[in-house]
A and B are shown apart, each in its own frame.
Chain A
Amino acid sequence: MIVLLVLFLGSISLVAALFAIHTKSLLSAVISSGVVSLVASILYIVLHAPDVAMTEAAIGSGLTTVVFLLALRKIRSARKEDHRG
């Protein structure tokens, strides 16, 4: 039963990682890397490490995605200024 759960979660994370690398849109790539972190935090609960699961859920799927999105916003605004000026 647990082996089935781990295999299911593992296949989701592998598909998300492959998608993050191949897609052309940067936004989808960033959000799929957030999905990989989320699946990793569920795997940590299955491996009986609750502290690591909490830290990974907060940092990996929350703050890392936010930092990527802030950087993308800066790049997009700089690009818009170039086109305007």
Chain B
Amino acid sequence: MAIGFILILIGIWGMVTQNNIIKIIIGFSIIDTGIHIVMVGTGYIKNRTAPILDSEALRQNAAALTVDPVPSALVLTAIVIGLAVTALMLTYAVRLHVKTGSLSIDNLKDQA
């Protein structure tokens, strides 16, 4: 879980200091992955198995033998939405490049 937190920090740092729009979007994607790792990590219980009940013994005693299924269900939705948002950001970047001809943010900041 600590790995997820460190990934978030690296992503935020990258997002703010970089100049190129595509690098900023890559930083956003790294933050997204880090957050998902943290969320799935909170549902983990040691020495238990996945919540798919396909054997009889697992079914009888399910609440004592499986890992928490709720964070996995939430992260499933979140990953797909992260992809949709990243694709939308990239089309903005492409249109910006077609209109102004460059990919760096410094050119866009100084509009009056």
Q: Is B58 an interface residue (CB 8 A)?
A: no
A-B pairs with beta carbons under 8 A, tally: 111
Residues of chain B at interface, number, CB under 8 A: 45
B10 touches A14 (CB 8 A): yes
State in angstroms the CA–CA spacing of A59 and B80 once bound together.
7
B93 touches A71 (CB 8 A): yes
Closest to B42 in A: A47
B7 touches A13 (CB 8 A): yes
Complex interface residues of chain A between 1 and 36 (CB less than 8 A to chain B): 6, 10, 13-14, 17-18, 20-21, 26, 29-30, 33, 36
- B residues near A (Cβ < 8 Å) are 2-3, 6-7, 10-11, 13-14, 18, 20, 22-23, 25-27, 29-30, 33, 36-37, 40-41, 43-44, 48-50, 52, 67, 72, 75-76, 79-80, 83, 86-87, 90-91, 93-94, 97-98, 101, 103
